[in-house]
């Protein structure tokens, strides 16, 4: 697999860069400063980096929304899986 593809996993260096950027962004206090904090290069190189960065920003800015979204996604997946084997739930 070549390094030029966006459909690859992050390297350890890219993950470290994203984690460092997330810690720096967390230290910013005002929402205006956070809004203008640009995405690191590692988030623009791969889709996995972009998803990681999006979830980190969402967890910092709207943790309740992230938790509710994950619960709803799990609920839909559970209903689908149980419906496939014939168990019906609301």
pLDDT tens-place values along the chain, 90 residues long: 455 688 888 999 999 999 999 999 999 988 889 888 999 999 999 999 999 999 999 999 999 999 999 999 999 999 888 888 877 766
Give Cα 2 to chain centroid, integer Å.
Answer: 24
Question: Residue 5: its pLDDT value, please?
Answer: 82
Q: What is the phi-psi region of residue 86: left when phi exceeds 0, alpha when psi lies from -120 to 50, beta otherwise?
A: left
Question: Residue 3: its pLDDT value, please?
Answer: 58
Question: Residue 1: its pLDDT value, please?
Answer: 44
| Strand positions, DSSP E, the chain | none
- Quick check: 52 and 10 in contact, CB under 8 A? yes
Name the pTM for this structure: 0.74
CB neighbour list of residue 25: distance below 8 Å, 6 or more residues apart: 34, 37, 56, 57, 60
Give Cα 76 to chain centroid, integer Å.
Answer: 19
């Amino acid at each position: 697999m070549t390094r030029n593809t966006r459909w690859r996993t992050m390297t350890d260096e890219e993950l470290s860069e994203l984690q460092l950027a997330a810690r720096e962004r967390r230290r910013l206090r005002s929402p205006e400063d956070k809004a203008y904090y640009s995405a690191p290069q590692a988030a623009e190189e791969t889709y996995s980096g972009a998803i990681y960065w999006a979830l980190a920003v969402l967890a910092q800015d709207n943790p309740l929304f992230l938790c509710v979204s994950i619960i709803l996604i799990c609920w839909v997946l559970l209903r689908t899986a149980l419906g496939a084997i014939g168990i019906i739930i609301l």
